[in-house]
Structure 1
């Protein structure tokens, strides 16, 4: 099971510079405007509430634009990711944007070993959980990082979305399996002219019930669960349309599909 880290890291390492250079990540907007926030965090704001003064960690932060956005809202943030190339971009963006955000390289399961102290906020963004083989271990890691009363906040692609192929047919597992789904797909999810050599990924789905149960079993208290009819990338090309705010939605009868969900929990 350890080779999934090497395979996936090679994929993310190669894509990190392309992501930072893509207009879809709005890096130049972060640099030009000290009040600019990522579209993902802007979507989260009504549920996230006031984070000023909180000590937070963003797990699987990639190139750090959401991490920087949370810092701009007043949280003292740390970003963590397993991809050194992604963190190289994150540090460069933070420096150019005038954001004093530290970034730590680590597999998410080892976060407790490399981070000091406890956190008021553990934030996890879009497209993170599918890279992890064990949702229960993830929830225990989150619980170990939270101070009493601290919050978990995650918005993620809905497990039903991950089951669909490009023809909206159920073709992929809904539940977590002991072995990964192995994909070999060129390109990436942002606009770029880069061509990539490392195209294999190992991924897992986790059912919504499995995620909720894992959070509860880790000792956290669920405080919110909301399903959404939009997703912040073109998840099903040809079947989705832009609806503003960086969000995409099924063109036909979007009410058929939960696109993403927001889950919140607290440590007791």
Structure 2
């Protein structure tokens, strides 16, 4: 991705990003990369992202959970299939239309910006708040996000987060080897991009190319959660991500994850974080 020279007002980010996700949701649902047909054919099928963390998730049966920024709901439905009573929240109406078509009555979906989640979901009503790969980069403030997470969790409830590592987001995806290009720490102005592709295999063409994104350092994320009274119980860094984040630099492994082709131990590409509200 290439940032534009003149970034517009960050307050415009919701409309710009929503248009992008609304347009891409049908293509994502139709792409084999999301495996929607596998979900329909096999009632035990789980998304690759959830399956990656299955041992870390522990027992979910009977837990009330909410998946923030759930997109088309494949991870949300996977958590429901593991026994949780799941809700999903996303700001994209078209993403939620695809999610409801996939999950049916198994998941309760809500349309909202994540910062307004407490207006549409029950404060303090959840045992589990889940956020998956590629979500936090769409939010300008990690402290506001952490406040929402804390507000949704009941005492003893936990946040489960698997995310792209901020080190990976800081790398130049156009380079032939790992090179730092973008901010690692949270920044006031968004990175503004204009690109008309997507991260799944599809023949669809798109007219909405704009996106506004931010990075958040790992320390900033942890500190924001601690400030809201959550207790960190697990933080695992991984050398892989579930998509080809650095084309020409990564190779897909047998587990469906992508790692640096040369010396993958050089890069923390994603992480899993678990925190509990005492």
Structure 1 equivalent of residue 112 of structure 2: 106
1:60-99 Cα offsets, whole Å, 9 max, x none, are 000000000000000000000000000000001113xxx5
1:35 aligns with 2:44: yes
1:44-193 aligned at under 5 Å gives the runs 44-95=53-104, 100-117=106-123, 118-166=125-173, 167=175, 168-193=178-203
Q: Select which of 2, 23, 36 maps to 1:14.
A: 23
1:144-184 Cα offsets, whole Å, 9 max, x none, are 00000000000000000001112121000001011100011
Q: 1: CA distance between counterparts of 2:35 and 2:77?
A: 12
SS at match of 2:107: coil
User: What stretches of structure 1 move > 4 A for 4+ residues in a row?
Assistant: none
Measured after TM superposition, the shift of residue 245 of structure 1 is 2.7
Q: Select which of 221, 227, 245 maps to 1:217.
A: 227
> TM-score, length-normalised on structure 2?
0.94
Unaligned runs of 5+ in 1: none
> TM-score, length-normalised on structure 1?
0.97
Root-mean-square deviation (Å): 0.8
Q: Select which of 219, 241, 245 maps to 1:231.
A: 241
Q: 1: CA distance between counterparts of 2:122 and 2:218?
A: 30
Q: 1: CA distance between counterparts of 2:201 and 2:171?
A: 22
